[in-house]
């Protein structure tokens, strides 16, 4: 145990990366100068070589002389020298001879030779008199993209030779080739290569089309990049377009249905609200299952506050081969985001904006005022047990006037509205010879469909990359986001009781209640019937003054050094700082505020995350062998600070949180924590002949949050892949264009233990007025026993994959099968309560996830009408293997007032041998019919009463009859994305869905309760004439007494009934976007590159049996073991946007 | 070139040798560095009371849910399920952990010279009083207990067996006896509610009285109970409130009649008062009174003070939205507080009326017949209940009653006077073994002797093989 005085952490953080970078640069430059000044002596040279590269030549010269070389441009090294034949020549002569016909010049400064590339436009290659047979034809031309915009730096090589050049800034090129039969190969990253036979042309115009062949794509992997064809692991890759095509303002939501193995749940519909993303199931109960988000190398990012237009690509690392490189943070998958950088050339200005409207998807059907009043009366008059029938709540006269009133107030219409949103993104991207940049700004302004809710987001990003010398470059990424939001409390979270949350209260307040009293104050429910304990829903919605602000700022800089051929070092460092400042004031018009005589809650959170990563990469081809070695040394730390202030009992409502001095009572809670991680990692990628690929890696993580006995953890992985398509036996066919088999194995960890959980602690805050005065006395309690053995969870994963491509990769199929086995699961191990403790966090359980993922993508049509269709389907099967000493562990979803999830009525369970997300309760079998009267009587029930499954057959329904009644985990999820284009038109259509998951619909419990409910379903209640229903009858007490039955249904106020469990499978038309791009020729005249207009509809239609607002919600997000409970979350909306993309 | 690499590597190593991964807590302390001052020790007591009060307040307020099988509170039907009241068990043991930690620290000299001997004794006395009372609650509800004291070996590493009731009481008596010796008659440090010597004596009297009845039936303890109760009455530190309708008010919740109580203030308020008020008063009506019990309660001013059975002349049977009476004892919030859903109403744990009745019961049983002193004691309570007027519904006790008749009268008086108070009625029903007879007829068929003890919580049995379950309940 460590017990040192506080403040030790305030030592200078050990991440002086900026200072370091400066020093390194100085040292490198010094080294360089030393070399330049190195003493040397002249010598006559003899060289006889053909077709060698400039680099090779200079190497030879260097060996024979003592000259050193500097290049101003690395590309010149690869230029080919046809023939050098000199004897006893001076260096100058050799160079003169060799550089003949090449766009190169040189300058000799003492003993250093600086080789320079001539200005490209000035290149004219004249046939050399020495080699008349070789260079006979000169061809020039222009290379553009599909829209006619010139492309620069396109590589042009004469096929079969080393002869080549590149295009200039205007896209022009000129090359001298051997003869008319020569073939020119045009290639450019991200574009389809093209081959053109020179023939009689002297001017060749080429339009390159963007590469459809994804295999040549470069994929970002952990701490590096790889060609897609070299991948051995399982990675889902998305381009920025995949996100922006949807016209959405959120990156996380754009992932839905687009990447296999990735489950995205929009658990609430609030603007700026929550999304749960799970990669390949859920491994952890307590540790959290959020994937690690890495943005341009900086770990711990958030998907919420990133501008979708900034994104170049998103890679989701799924198997252990891909994620083990992140060691103790990799178990839940890793999402790598790369943001855009400009290209060389004049700046491109891009604008993308849309304006839209949101509308609630549906409202819950409720009774009219008259129906409600009649139901209240029926229920009231059933309370005649003492022989006296109570008078009806509403007299016949009142019923008449209610009938005249019409429907009454539909409170859902009172608190929900149509709400606009707009999003604007502007960026400038470009580059010069040595520098590339991208600067962007984004603004989102979204009103929520619930009154008094909105979300605004400002984002700024600046990316810069510059070559300092030919062996050093520098890049920096800065991004900042300011978010401001407001939403009345909803779901299960927060400080407000459920009956004061408008999402819960609005549908169950009866339509007879007026909104306001005649004096203009909010009406409160009439007592004695209905949901009279509920606060006025409109007051609950609009009166709280909520102001939530989050500012995040991230800066990450890298220095890249090319040390030797193939050996590069990247020193990078940076950090992010976040500041959350939330304030809520509840005035006397709110239930919350009245109880406390005005209540203000201010929450502040601050975090400082620093990261320093040093990556050494060695990448070389040795004949057919390709070897990449990566070594990483990394450290990070996170300091976080939380403050919460509750102020109550104000003399005035007016100043609220702006004058805390006006509050009589202020309670402050704060906590600070610090954690750090030190890591070493090594990786080897080896491939032979592009056929046999191997990756192996190991990472060691030392984390401060682990127990004293387990500070370091090691995470190995390896993977193998076989590019079968490159084997000779598949050479002579043109059907299969890609065939790769992959296998990987590895161990990853989840270090989401909170700091200090290994300590025995004394907690504060158990205050109590022990002395009986108005001043509360501080209470310090024994909070937890020590556990020095606490360690990370570890997940062992196997992955079997196959990649298939047909017809020149017009059709691609990727399939993966994986098994994940998580051990040392972090869980609260219960302690006997007589110890005074409830539990101890410990590594007790194990869990398994198995799944298959299939991705099919094809260009079904590729003529004038293009149709690209992509389908993903993933299925994950979770199984809790062991819970330590337990068979089952309940998860409380504290929820007084509904008879669900109280301490003694947990709804969700982890059960060994079952899947996560299991719900338990009484199995509801329907309503006893008159035919079943005799059987019902055995349970003391009458026809019209609820019928429950008597699991143990003892003739009684009680806690012993509790069985599994549902499961929240989907059996499979799928997405089907279609892109059509025809001339200037494009159409995007995304369908996605989830099948086989259940949702527990809590609000129905009270909405369908006969004593207060408003649900229209109550009109379908059981009667002798309407027996085919699942809504019980209202049976009066006298009838019951006359039947003289003793009820054997002893479940009390326990509503864990399968009656409320619904199938939440759904299929959703997630997005339809129709766009039109104006013809390039037309707009070029007005100096635009592109103009596209589009209409986009999100959440257009959902096919589901679920009766709540939306089948996707989950009100208990704090723990995955309790997902699948709908408790009045913020409903989702349908969004229709009209948008515009411009670039010039 | 190679020089370059070497430089870089040297620099890397120099710069990146980081500090150790040891953790130093920022926002909490460890037990080893706490319990060093009087204030820290008392902070442990506040936390202990916070735990127990958490168990008794909230929707349990005033512990009604735990005791709804008595004949006073509506709802219980004597089918006591496994795990019933597990939360109360947990809360009491939480309190005991905090008390044991403080006691152990004090005994090991943590306080050093920071306090004088008297202060030390008083601090220790408070902890022992609280621990004794916690075990007294536990032993009455669950019988044999895992007995964890300050000098018990680590209860996590060494799972204990259940200590027999008799030995638990030995520990309780030891704690309370020391508390009596150590605690002051009155606190002069501004505290109104810390336990006093007489509170400890009163509690000890109640312990002896309970030991004299079931399950131990050690009848020689009656005399000890009577003696201690008499000492408390005679000391006159606490006095009975004259008017029955003033017994439960905001002004009298901490005295002069109340001797030990849960506490509340606006910063640490209790559950919204609506939990136990009827819908007709805009309440939620979570807890109601068993109508049969209310019907049997004699019509006295006390009934009007303690039971809400009539409102503006309208009997509960005719109220809209409900058909049961409610508990009035704790409905003394101000109208403003009530309207604002806040409450500082507390729940007494021991008050002088109880001590009078303890005396009456114990003295009668010790002597084989009611003495005049016993009769006077019970009549003090009866007379006040009747508003100091003769009431045929509720006559005074008279000399010449038999031992058993007088005993029954006292128990019934406890039933009426101490109704809804921290489970007092339930304890009486159990120690007098009259649950089967007193429960309403409707539930009687469900009664068995096993109902006198609650089930040991599933959790603890599951985790400790050495614990056995009480009769009538299943192993988890």
Note the pLDDT of residue B433.
97
pLDDT score at A95:
77
Spatial contact of A437 and A462, defined as CB atoms under 8 Å apart: yes
Q: Give the per-residue pLDDT at B132.
A: 98
Residue in A890, A797, A928, A899 with CA at minimum distance from that of residue A851: A797
Mean pLDDT, range A944-966, rounded to an integer: 93
Q: Please give the average per-residue pLDDT across A326-343, as a whole number.
A: 90
> How many C-alpha atoms does A67 have within 13 Å on its Cβ side?
28
Give the pLDDT band of residue A122 (cuts 50, 70, 90).
very low
Measure the CA–CA gap between B210 and B218, rounded to whole angstroms.
9
Which chain B residues contact residue A783 at CB under 8 A? Answer: 28
Q: In what order do the strands lie in the sheet with A137-145?
A: A172-177, A137-145, A203-208
Interface test with A, best of B41, B47, B53, B184 (most A CBs within 10 A): B47
Q: What is the pLDDT of residue A345?
A: 78
Res A616: pLDDT: 93
pLDDT for res B7: 62
CA distance B188 to chain A (A): 11
Mean local confidence (pLDDT), B84-107: 94
- All residues of chain B having their beta carbon less than 8 Å from the beta carbon of residue A772 are 191-194, 254, 263
* Contact between residue A154 and residue A193 where contact means Cβ atoms under 8 Å apart: no
In eight-state DSSP terms, residue A917 is S
Q: What DSSP assignment string belongs to B82-115? A: TTTTHHHHHHHHHHHHHHHHHHHHHHTTTTTTSS
Look at residue A167 and tell me whether its pLDDT is greater than 60.
yes
Return the residue matching tokens 């200039």.
A168
Contact (CB<8Å) A612/B16: yes
d(CA A989, nearest CA chain B) in Å: 51
- pLDDT digit string (tens) for B435-461? 999 998 888 888 999 999 999 998 899
Per the CB < 8 A criterion, the answer to whether B395 and B389 are in contact is no
Taking the CA of residue A952 and the nearest CA in chain B, the distance in Å comes to: 15
Residue B250 Cα, gap to closest chain A Cα (Å): 12
Token pair of B280 as six digits: 């007709």
Say which of B47, B460, B464 has its CB closest to residue A781. Answer: B47
Measure the CA–CA gap between A780 and A81, rounded to whole angstroms: 81
For the residues A596-600, what does the mean pLDDT come to?
89
pLDDT score recorded for residue A26: 46
Q: How confident is the model at residue A129 (pLDDT cuts 50, 70, 90)?
A: very low
Would you place residue A71 in the very low, low, confident or very high pLDDT band (cuts 50, 70, 90)? low
Paired tokens of A786: 């020590």
Which of A432, A116, A89, A491 has the alpha carbon at shortest distance from A273?
A: A491
- Residue pointed to by tokens 């590493």: B157
Model confidence at A953, in pLDDT bands (50, 70, 90)? Answer: very high
Residues of A with Cβ-Cβ distance to B444 under 8 angstroms: none
- The pLDDT value recorded for residue B444 is 87
CA–CA distance from B85 to each of A87, B54, B63, B66, B162 (Å)? 103, 13, 10, 6, 18
Please tell me which residue, B408 or B12, carries the higher pLDDT value: B408
3-state secondary structure of B218: coil
Residues B346-380: tens digit of each pLDDT: 999 999 999 999 999 999 999 999 999 999 999 99
A741-752 exposure pattern, b = at least 16 Cβ within 10 A, e = fewer: ebbbbbbbbbbb
What is the rounded average pLDDT of the residues B59-76?
Answer: 77
Q: What does the pLDDT look like over A758-778, one tens digit per residue?
A: 888 898 889 999 999 988 889
Whether ipTM > 0.95 holds is: no
Give the helix ranges, DSSP H, for B418-447: 424-431, 435-438, 441-444
Mean pLDDT estimate for chain B:
91
Compute the nearest-CA separation of A695 from chain B (Å): 25
- Chain B residues close to A566, C-beta within 8 Å: none
Which chain A residues are closer than 8 Å to B86 by Cβ? 833, 904
Residue A100 has a pLDDT of: 73
Distance in angstroms (rounded) separating the CA atoms of residues A111 and A36: 7
Question: Are A760 and B31 within 8 A, CB to CB?
Answer: yes
pLDDT of amino acid A190: 65
Which one of B27, B86, B280 makes the best mutation probe of the A interface by having the most chain A beta carbons within 10 Å?
Answer: B27
Of A420 and A160, the one with more pLDDT? A420
Percent of chain A with pLDDT over 70: 90
- Confidence class for position B5, pLDDT limits 50, 70, 90: low
Q: Are A769 and A775 in contact (CB under 8 A)?
A: yes
Per the CB < 8 Å rule, is A782 touching B18? no
Class of residue A518 by CB neighbours under 10 A (exposed 0-12, middle 13-18, buried 19+)? exposed
3-class SS of residue A105: strand
Q: 3-state class of A591 per DSSP?
A: helix
| Segment A1078-1085 mean pLDDT | 85
Average pLDDT over residues A125-143: 58
Give the H/E segment covering residue A630: strand A625-650
pLDDT computed for residue B3 by the predictor: 55
A382-413 pLDDT tens trace: 888 777 788 888 999 999 999 998 889 999 99
Identify the residue with better confidence: A346 or A1004.
A1004
Q: What is the pLDDT of residue A121?
A: 38
Across the interface, which of B59, B340, B464 has its CB nearest the CB of A595?
B340
pLDDT digits (tens, 9 = 90+) for A278-318: 898 888 887 778 899 999 999 988 888 889 899 999 999 99
- Long-range contacts (CB closer than 8 Å, 24 or more residues apart) made by A775-780: A775/B265, A775/B267, A776/B265, A776/B267, A776/B268, A777/B42, A777/B43, A777/B46, A778/B39, A778/B43, A778/B46, A779/B43, A779/B44, A779/B46, A779/B47, A779/B49, A779/B50, A780/B29, A780/B34, A780/B40, A780/B43, A780/B44, A780/B46, A780/B47
pLDDT at A161: 76
Rounded distance between C-alpha atoms, residue A352 and residue A1088, angstroms: 14
In angstroms, the separation between the Cα of residue A1120 and the nearest Cα of chain B is: 23
Q: Given this model, what pLDDT does residue A346 score?
A: 83
**Binning pLDDT at 50, 70 and 90, where does residue A44 land?**
confident
Helix H or strand E segment including A114: strand A112-117
Between A82-96, A847-861, B210-224, B344-358, the lowest mean confidence (pLDDT) is in A82-96
Q: Report the residue of B5, B13, B26, B135 to disrupt the A interface, i.e. the one with the largest count of A CBs within 10 Å.
A: B26
Single out the residue of A63, A182, A248, A211 nearest to residue A810, CA to CA.
Answer: A211
Q: Name the helix (H) or strand (E) containing A1051.
A: none
Is the per-residue pLDDT at A636 higher than 60?
yes
B46:A779 CB<8 A: yes
- pLDDT of A813 reads 96
Cα–Cα–Cα angle for A223, A227, A233, rounded to 5 degrees: 65
pTM for the predicted model, two decimal places: 0.77
Q: Round the average pLDDT of chain A to a whole number and report it.
A: 85
Per the DSSP assignment, residues forming a β-bridge with A562 are: A568
What's residue A895's pLDDT?
64
Q: Which of A26-40, A699-713, A829-843, A950-964 has the lowest mean pLDDT?
A: A26-40
Among A358-372, A652-666, B56-70, B259-273, top mean pLDDT goes to: A358-372
Would you call A582 exposed, middle or buried from its count of C-beta atoms within 10 A (0-12, 13-18, 19+)? middle
Which pLDDT belongs to residue A132? Answer: 41
Query: Looking at the predicted structure, is the pLDDT value of residue A21 above 70?
Result: no
By C-alpha distance, which of A697, A611, A298 is closest to B18? A611
**Cα(B129)–Cα(B175) distance, rounded to whole angstroms?**
6
Q: Which of A334, A367, A118 lies closest to A221, judged by CA?
A: A334
Quick one: pLDDT band at residue B408, thresholds 50, 70, 90? very high
Residue A1091 pLDDT > 80, yes or no?
Answer: yes
The tens digit of pLDDT for each residue in A462-507 reads: 999 999 888 899 999 999 999 999 999 888 777 788 889 999 999 9
- Predicted confidence at residue A373, as pLDDT, reads 94
* Residues of B with Cβ-Cβ distance to A18 under 8 angstroms: none
A59: chain B residues, CB-CB within 8 Å: none
Q: Could you give the percent of chain B with pLDDT greater than 70?
A: 94
Q: What is the pLDDT of residues A209-240, one digit of tens each?
A: 765 444 457 888 889 888 888 888 889 888 88
Which range among A191-195, A563-567, B119-123, B234-238 shows the weakest confidence by mean pLDDT?
Answer: A191-195
* DSSP secondary structure, B136-156, as one string: HHHHHHHSSB----TTS--TT
Whether B16 shows a pLDDT value over 80: the answer reads no
Cβ-based contacts of A563 with chain B (< 8 Å): 1, 4-5, 8
pLDDT of residue A665 exceeding 60: yes
List the Cα angle B287/B293/B294 in 5-degree steps: 75
Q: What is the mean pLDDT of residues A739-759?
A: 87
Which DSSP symbol is given to A1073? E
């Amino acid at each position: 145990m460590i017990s040192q005085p506080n403040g030790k952490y305030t030592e200078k953080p050990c991440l002086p990366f900026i200072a370091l970078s400066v020093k390194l640069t100085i040292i490198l430059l010094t080294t360089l100068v030393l070399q330049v000044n190195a003493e040397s002596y002249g010598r006559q040279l003899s060289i006889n070589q053909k077709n060698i590269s400039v680099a090779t030549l200079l190497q030879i010269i260097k060996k024979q002389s003592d000259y050193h070389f500097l290049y101003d441009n690395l590309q010149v090294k690869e230029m080919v020298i046809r023939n050098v034949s000199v004897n006893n020549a001076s260096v100058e002569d050799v160079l003169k001879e060799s550089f003949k016909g090449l766009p190169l010049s040189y300058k000799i400064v003492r003993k250093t030779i600086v080789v320079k590339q001539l200005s490209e436009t000035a290149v004219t290659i004249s046939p050399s008199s020495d080699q008349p047979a070789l260079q006979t034809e000169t061809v020039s031309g222009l290379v553009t993209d599909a829209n006619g915009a010139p492309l620069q730096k396109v590589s042009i090589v004469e096929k079969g030779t080393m002869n080549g050049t590149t295009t200039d800034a205007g896209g022009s090129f000129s090359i001298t080739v051997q003869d008319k039969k020569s073939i020119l190969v045009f290639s450019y990253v991200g574009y389809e290569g093209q081959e053109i036979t020179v023939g009689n042309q002297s001017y060749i115009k080429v339009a390159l089309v963007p590469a459809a062949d994804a295999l040549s794509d470069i994929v970002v992997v952990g701490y590096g990049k790889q060609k897609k064809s070299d991948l051995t692991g399982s990675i889902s890759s998305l381009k920025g377009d995949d996100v922006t095509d949807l016209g959405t303002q959120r990156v996380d939501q754009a992932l839905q249905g687009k990447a296999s193995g990735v489950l995205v749940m929009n658990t609430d519909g609030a603007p700026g609200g929550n999304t749960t993303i799970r990669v390949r199931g859920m491994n952890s109960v307590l540790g959290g299952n959020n994937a690690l988000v890495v943005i341009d190398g900086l770990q711990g990012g958030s998907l919420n506050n990133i501008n979708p237009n900034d994104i170049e690509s998103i890679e989701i690392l799924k198997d252990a081969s891909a994620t083990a490189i992140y060691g103790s943070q990799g178990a839940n998958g890793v999402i790598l985001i790369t943001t855009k950088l400009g290209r060389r050339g004049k700046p491109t200005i891009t604008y993308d904006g849309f304006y839209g409207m949101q509308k609630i998807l549906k409202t819950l059907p409720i009774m009219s005022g008259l129906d409600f009043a009649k139901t209240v009366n029926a229920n009231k008059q059933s309370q005649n047990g003492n022989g006296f029938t109570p008078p009806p709540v509403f007299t016949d006269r009142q019923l008449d006037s209610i009938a005249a009133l019409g429907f009454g107030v539909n409170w859902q219409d009172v608190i929900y509205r149509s709400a606009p949103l707009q999003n604007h993104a502007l960026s400038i991207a470009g580059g010069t010879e040595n520098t590339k940049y991208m600067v962007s700004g984004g603004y989102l302004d979204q009103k929520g469909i619930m009154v008094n809710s909105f979300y605004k987001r400002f984002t700024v990003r600046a990316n810069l990359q510059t070559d300092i010398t030919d062996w050093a470059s520098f890049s920096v990424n800065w991004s900042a986001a300011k978010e401001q939001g407001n939403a009345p409390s909803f779901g299960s979270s927060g400080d407000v009781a459920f009956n004061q949350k408008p999402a819960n209260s609005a549908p169950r307040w009866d339509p007879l209640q007026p909104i306001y009293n005649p004096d203009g104050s909010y009406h409160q429910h009439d007592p004695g019937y209905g949901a009279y304990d509920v606060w006025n829903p409109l007051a609950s919605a609009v009166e709280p003054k909520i102001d939530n602000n989050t500012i995040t700022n991230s800066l990450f800089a890298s220095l890249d050094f090319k040390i030797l051929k193939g050996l590069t070092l990247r020193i990078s460092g940076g950090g992010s700082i976040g500041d959350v400042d939330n304030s809520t004031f509840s005035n006397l018009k709110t239930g919350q505020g009245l109880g406390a005589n005005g209540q203000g809650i201010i929450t502040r959170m601050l975090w400082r995350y620093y990261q320093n990563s040093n990556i050494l990469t060695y990448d070389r081809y040795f004949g057919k062998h390709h070897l990449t070695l990566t070594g990483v040394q990394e450290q990070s730390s996170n300091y976080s600070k939380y403050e919460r202030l509750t102020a109550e009992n104000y003399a005035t409502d007016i100043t609220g949180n702006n004058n805390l001095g006006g509050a009589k009572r202020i309670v402050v809670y704060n906590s600070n924590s610090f954690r750090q991680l030190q890591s070493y990692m090594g990786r080897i990628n080896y491939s032979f002949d592009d056929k046999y690929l191997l990756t192996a890696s190991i990472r060691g993580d030392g984390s401060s949050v682990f127990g004293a006995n387990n500070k370091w953890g090691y995470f190995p992985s390896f993977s193998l892949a076989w590019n079968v398509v490159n084997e000779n036996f598949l050479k002579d066919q043109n059907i299969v264009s890609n065939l790769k088999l992959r296998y990987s194995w590895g161990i990853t960890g989840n270090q989401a233990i909170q700091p200090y959980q290994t300590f025995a602690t004394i907690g504060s805050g158990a205050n109590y007025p022990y002395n009986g005065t108005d001043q509360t006395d501080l209470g310090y309690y024994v909070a937890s026993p020590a556990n020095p053995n606490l360690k990370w969870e570890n997940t062992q994963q196997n992955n079997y994959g196959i990649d298939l491509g047909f017809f020149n990769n017009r059709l691609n199929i990727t399939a993966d099968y994986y098994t994940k086995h998580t051990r040392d699961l972090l869980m609260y191990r219960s302690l006997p309560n007589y110890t005074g403790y409830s539990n101890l966090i410990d590594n007790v359980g194990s869990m398994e996830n198995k799944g298959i993922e299939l991705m099919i993508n094809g260009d079904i049509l590729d003529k004038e009408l293009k149709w690209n269709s992509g389908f993903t389907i993933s299925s994950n099967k979770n199984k809790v293997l062991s819970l330590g000493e337990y068979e089952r562990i309940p998860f409380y979803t504290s929820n007084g007032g509904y008879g669900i999830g109280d301490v003694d009525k947990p709804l969700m369970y982890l059960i060994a041998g079952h899947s996560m997300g299991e719900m338990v309760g009484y199995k509801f079998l329907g309503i006893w019919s008159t035919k079943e009267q005799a059987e019902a009587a055995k349970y003391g029930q009458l026809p019209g009463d609820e019928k429950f499954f008597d699991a143990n057959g003892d003739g009684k329904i009680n806690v012993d009859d509790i069985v599994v009644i549902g499961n929240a985990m989907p059996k499979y999820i799928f997405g089907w994305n279609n892109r059509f284009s025809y001339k200037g038109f494009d159409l995007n259509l995304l369908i996605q869905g989830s099948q086989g998951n259940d949702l527990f619909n809590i609000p129905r419990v009270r909405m369908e309760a006969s004593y207060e409910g408003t649900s229209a379903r109550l009109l379908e209640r059981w009667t002798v004439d309407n027996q085919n229903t699942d809504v019980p009858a209202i049976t009066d007490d006298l009838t019951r007494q006359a039947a003289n039955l003793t009820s054997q249904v002893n479940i009390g106020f326990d509503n864990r009934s399968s009656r409320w469990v619904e199938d939440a499978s759904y299929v959703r038309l997630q997005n339809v976007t129709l766009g039109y791009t104006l013809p390039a020729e037309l707009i070029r005249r007005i100096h635009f590159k592109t103009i596209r207009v589009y209409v986009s509809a999100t959440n257009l239609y959902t096919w589901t049996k679920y009766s709540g607002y939306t089948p996707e919600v989950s009100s208990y997000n704090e723990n995955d073991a309790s997902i699948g409970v709908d408790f009045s979350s913020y409903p989702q909306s349908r969004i229709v946007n009209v948008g515009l993309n411009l670039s010039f | 070139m190679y020089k370059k690499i070497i430089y870089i590597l040297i620099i890397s190593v120099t710069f990146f040798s980081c500090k150790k991964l040891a953790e130093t807590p920022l926002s909490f302390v460890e037990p080893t560095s706490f319990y060093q001052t009087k204030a820290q020790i008392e902070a442990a007591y506040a936390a202990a009371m916070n735990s127990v009060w958490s168990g008794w307040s909230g929707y349990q307020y005033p512990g009604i849910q735990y005791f709804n099988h008595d004949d006073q509170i509506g709802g219980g039907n004597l089918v006591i399920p496994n795990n019933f009241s597990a939360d109360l068990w947990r809360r009491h043991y939480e309190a005991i952990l905090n008390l044991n930690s403080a006691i152990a620290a004090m005994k090991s000299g943590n306080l050093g010279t920071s306090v004088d001997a008297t202060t030390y004794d008083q601090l220790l006395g408070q902890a022992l009083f609280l621990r004794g009372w916690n075990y007294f609650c536990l032993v009455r509800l669950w019988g044999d207990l895992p007995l964890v004291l300050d000098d018990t070996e680590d209860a996590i590493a060494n799972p204990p067996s259940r200590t027999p009731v008799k030995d638990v009481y030995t520990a309780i008596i030891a704690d309370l006896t020391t508390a009596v010796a150590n605690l002051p008659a009155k606190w002069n440090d501004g505290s109104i509610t810390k336990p006093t010597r007489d509170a400890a004596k009163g509690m000890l009297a109640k312990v002896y009285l309970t030991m004299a009845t079931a399950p131990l039936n050690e009848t020689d303890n009656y005399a000890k109970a009577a003696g201690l109760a008499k000492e408390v009455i005679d000391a006159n530190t606490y006095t009975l409130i004259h008017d029955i309708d003033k017994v439960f008010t905001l002004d009298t919740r901490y005295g002069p009649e109340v001797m030990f109580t849960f506490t509340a203030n606006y910063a640490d308020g209790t559950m919204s008062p609506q939990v136990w008020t009827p819908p007709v008063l805009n309440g939620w009506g979570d807890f109601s009174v068993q109508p049969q019990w209310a019907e049997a309660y004699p019509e006295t001013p006390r009934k009007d003070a303690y039971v809400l059975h009539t409102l503006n002349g309208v009997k509960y049977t005719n109220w809209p939205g409900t058909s049961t009476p409610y508990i009035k004892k704790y409905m003394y919030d101000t109208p403003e507080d009530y309207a604002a859903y806040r409450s500082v109403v507390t729940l007494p744990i021991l008050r002088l009326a109880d001590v009078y009745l303890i005396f009456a019961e114990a003295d009668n049983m010790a002597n084989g017949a009611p003495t005049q002193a016993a009769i006077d004691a019970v009549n003090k309570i009866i007379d006040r209940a009747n508003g100091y007027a003769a009431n045929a519904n509720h006559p005074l006790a008279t000399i010449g009653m038999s031992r058993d008749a007088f005993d029954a009268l006292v128990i019934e008086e406890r039933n009426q006077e101490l109704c809804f108070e921290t489970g007092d009625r339930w304890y009486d029903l159990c120690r007098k073994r009259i649950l089967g007879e007193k429960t309403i007829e409707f539930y009687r068929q469900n009664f068995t002797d096993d109902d006198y003890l609650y089930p040991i919580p599933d959790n603890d049995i599951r985790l400790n093989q050495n614990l056995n379950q009480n009769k009538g309940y299943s192993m988890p």
